[in-house]
A and B are shown apart, each in its own frame.
Chain A
Amino acid sequence: MLSIAGLSGVVSACKPLAKTLTLPTANNTGSVSPTGTETRTLTATQIEESVTPGKASVTPQSPSSTPTLQPTASQAYMAVIHGTDPSQITIAALAALGGMERFVASGDDVIIKPNICTDYYSYEYAATTNPTVVATLVQLCLAAGAKRVRVMDQPFAGKAQTAYARSGIADAVAAAGGEMEFMDRNKYVTVPIHDGLDLKECTFYKPILDADIVIDVPIAKTHNLAKLTLAGKNLLGTIANPGQMHSNLGQRIADLVSHVRPKLIVVDAVRMLMRNGPTGGNLDDVNLANTVIASHDIVAADAFAASLFGMQGNDISYIKAAAARGLGTMDLSSIKIEEISY
C-alpha cells in the first residue's frame, strides 16, 4: 500500500509538467510560466526547437515499410537520463529527442507495450516496467494530442487483470488518463513477415499492428536464454505464441522487430533486475540505476541498456541479429547521445 500511495503522489506531481509540455505545441512558448527547475526549462526549449520537423516525418504506412523516425540535427539520436524521479527523467528523455510530438501526431492511436510478465511481484522487484515511467509516457502522448493511449501486455503467468494491478501500472495508467487493455485471444491475426529470415509468418495482436504508433517500454532485466530482456525481447508480448520464439531466439526476435517496428523505445532502467530474471522476487537482485534510455532506434537503445549490465550489443543475440538486418545501429560511438543527470 505504501508503494501505491507513493506512486500516486509521483503521478500527480508530474501532471503539471505534462501540462507545461502542451503549451509550446500551441505556438505559445512565450507564455510558459517560469517554473524555475532545470527540467522544465530544458523541456520547453527542446520542444520549441524540434516540434515541427519531427511531425513532418510521420507518415502512415504499413509497419514493415515505415522508415524509422530519424532525428534532425538538433535532436538527440538517443537520450540517456539519470535521476531519482522517474517521471522527471522520462519527460527529460523525450524532450532531448525532440518531444513526444516528434513521434505522436494529433489524433493518433497509441499503444504502449510495457513488460508485465507475471503477477508475482510489485514493480519494486524490477520484473515489471516502472508504473511512473509508463504513466508519464501516457500523459506525454495525450499532451501531444493522441486520441487514445492504450497500455497492454500478455503475462505468461497470472491473469492480465491481477498482473496489471500487481505491477502498479493499472492504477498509474488510469490516473494518467490512459486505458489498460486486456489482449483478447480472438484479436490475433496471422500475417506473413516478408523480411523475415527465419520467422516467415507470425500471429500478432492485431490492434498493435493497426496502431499509429507503438511505444516499446521494457524494463532492463536478466533472462537466462536471451541473457537480457530489453526492447527487442519485450516484443514477444505482441504475438500469440511466444514459446515458438525460443529456438533461434536472436534471429526470430530480429524478424519480429522488422515487422512491429515500434517508433519509440523507452528502456526503463530505473530499477534493473540483475539476477533471477525475468521474474525476480528478491530485492537484493535489484539495482537502483535511476536511468531511462529513449530512442527511435531499438538496436541502439538495447545496446546502450546492455552496457549497463557490463555487456555489449554484440553479446546479445537479438541485438546483434537486428543490427545485422539494418534495423538500427549498435555502434554507440557513431550516434549523438544526450546524457543528462539530475
Chain B
Amino acid sequence: MKAMSWRRLRIASQVIFLLVFLFLFWVTQQPASSSILSSLFFYLDPLAVAIIAITTRTILLVFSLALLSVVLTLVFGRVWCGWACPLGSVLGWIKPRKRERLQNKPSENLRRIKYVLLLVILIAGAFGIQFLFFLDPITLFNRLLSQSVWPAAQSLVNDAEVYLYRFDSLWNILDKIHAIFVYPVFQERVSHFYLAVPTLLLFGLLLGLNWAAERYWCRYLCPLGGLLGFLSRFSLLRRNVDDACISCQACARACPTGTISSKDFHSDPAECVVCYDCITTCASNANHFEWQFPKWKPAVKEAYDPGRREVLLGLGAAVGTVALAGAEPITRRQPATLIRPPGATEDSLASECIRCSQCINVCPTQGLQATVLEGGWQNLFTPQLIPRLGYCDYNCQACTQVCPTEAIPSMTLEEKRATTIGLARVDRNRCLPWAYNTPCIVCEEACPLPDKAIKLQVDDVLDPGGNPIILQRPIVLKENCIGCGVCEHQCPLGGEAAIRVYTPTPFIPTNYSSG
C-alpha cells in the first residue's frame, strides 16, 4: 500500500474512533445503557484500566481491551495517539496554519513532563489518591463533551426551537424534526453545569498550546502518551531514513510531534505517533516505516528520557500528594452541603474515582455536577448532587451502573432506594407555611418514599389576612429520608429552596467523657 493510502487510512481511523466515541457517549445517556459498552474507551485506555484493576481488585475480561492497546503499541508504536485518541485527533486537527518552526521550538526537556506526571499518577493512584487522573486524555475529552459541548449544543437547539415554535404554522414540521432528530439526540434533557465554561477554557488552553508547538499536549504533557511512549521504545515497527535523503527538512517540518531532528532526521519511537505525514511529504522517498527484526533492540536513549532524577521527582511528588491530601479537613468531616451519589463516600471518590464523568453524563436529571474544591483538592472533578439543578430520581440507579470503578458501588434499584445520601431540613424562616402561613405541600407531595419522609403537621393559625385557618406544615422524618433531593428541587420558593438536603448526620461520638 502506498504511503498516501496509509495516511488516508490513519485519518479515516481517527474519524471513526471519534465517531464511535461520540456514539458511545450518546449510548451512555440512554435509559438502559450497558456499563461495559458505555465505558469502552476507558477499557481501551491502559492507564485507566491499571487504576481500575488496582482500585477494584478485580480482573475482568474486558480489561483485555487495554492489553490489546498495549500489544498494538509494542508492535506498531504510539498508534493509539496517532490513530485512535479522540482528544489527540481534535488537537491534531486544530492547529496554526503555518508549519512547524524548526527554530525556537520548546525545549526537548519538556517531553519529560509527561513521564513525571505518569509516575505521579501511578504511584499516588496505588496509594489511593486519583487526583491527577483528570489529566487522562479520555477523561478530559469525556468531561469536555458531557459538561460543556453537549449541554451547549442542547441549549442551542432548545433556543432555536423556542424561537421557531413561536410560529404556529411551523409546528407540524417542527414536531417532525423534534421527533426524528432532537428527541433521539437529547431526550428532553435539560443540562446546566457550573464547569461548562472552565472545562472549555481548560480545553482552550490545551488547544492554544498548539500555537507554541503542534500537539503540545501529546508531546509534553499527556500521561497516557507517556505510558504508551515508554512502551513504544520497544516497538517492532519504527521509522527509518535511508540514504536517498536529500536533507530537505520537509519531514522535520511536517512532523506533528516535532520528534524528527532537523540535523540527522532521526526520530524517537516514543514520540512518533505513526501518522505517515513524514512519508507523504518526503520528496526523495527516503522515509519508511520498517520492521525491526531480526536485529531488534530498544530505541536509543534520548536526553529527555526519564532517568533516576525523574523517578525520584515523581515518587517525591506522589508521596507529597498523598501526604498533603491527608492533611485536608475533608478527611475529618464531610461538608454539610456536599451530597455524593448513592454509595459514594469522600474516601471512595478520592481513592477510586478516575474523574471519567460517566456518572455525570448518565444522570437523567443532570443533577450530578463535578466538584472543584468542595471536597478538597484531592476530590477535584468528583461527582456531587446539586438538587436545585436535578434530584436523584427514585426510579434510577444509572450512575451506580456506569461507574467503571467502585467509587460509586454497583447497586440494584432496591438497594439504591434504601441508600441514604442526605437528609432534608426545612428552613422554617423561609418555608411558605412556616414563615408566611401560606398553604404549600409541594415537598410532601413529591416525596417518593412509600411512607413519606415528609409529614404534614396541622396547625390552627391566622392566614396573612388575619383569618383563622387550618394549615399543613412540612416536617421531615429523619428516619425515612434518603436525601434524594426531589423536595429541594421542587420547592416553589425562588432562589435557594426552603427545604434543603444536607449531608446525612449520623451521631458522631465525641471524646467527652461521660459522667
Contacts and interface: CB of A to CB of B under 8 A. Distances in A.
Contact of A166 (B162, B364, B395, B446): B395
A84 to B, nearest CB: 25
A247 interface: yes
A119 B393 contact: yes
B447 A279 contact: yes
Nearest to B190: A185
Contacts of B161: 186
B452 A276 contact: yes
B446 A119 contact: no
Interface string B427-444: 000000000001111101
B436 to A, nearest CB: 10
B456 interface: yes
A191 interface: no
Nearest to A159: B364
A270 B486 CA distance: 29
Contacts of B393: 119, 157-158, 162
Contacts of B439: 225, 246-247, 249
Contacts of B127: none
A224 B456 contact: yes
B448 A279 contact: yes
Contacts of B448: 118, 120, 157, 279, 281
A280 B445 contact: no
A157 B31 contact: no
B185 to A, nearest CB: 14
B472 interface: yes
A278 interface: yes
Interface string A110-141: 00000000111000000000000000000000
Interface residues on A, range: 20 to 34
Contacts, number: 89
Contacts of B391: 157
B288 interface: no
A219 B395 CA distance: 21
Contacts of B181: none
Contact of B490 (A157, A160, A249): A157
Contacts of A162: 31, 364, 393, 395-396
A10 to B, nearest CB: 24
Interface string A183-226: 01111000000000000000000000000000000000001110
Contacts of A249: 439
Given A161-B187, A247-B439, A156 B364 contact: no
B194 interface: no
A282 interface: yes
A270 B87 CA distance: 56
B492 A225 contact: no
A182 B187 CA distance: 10
A249 B472 CA distance: 14
A282 to B, nearest CB: 4
A7 B252 CA distance: 70
14 contacts: A156-B446, A157-B391, A157-B446, A157-B448, A158-B393, A162-B364, A166-B395, A186-B161, A186-B174, A225-B445, A243-B442, A246-B440, A279-B446, A281-B450
Interface of A: 118-120, 156-162, 166, 182, 184-187, 223-225, 243, 246-247, 249, 276, 278-282, 285
Pick the 8 closest A-B CB pairs, nearest first: A281-B450, A186-B165, A282-B450, A119-B395, A225-B441, A243-B492, A120-B448, A120-B394
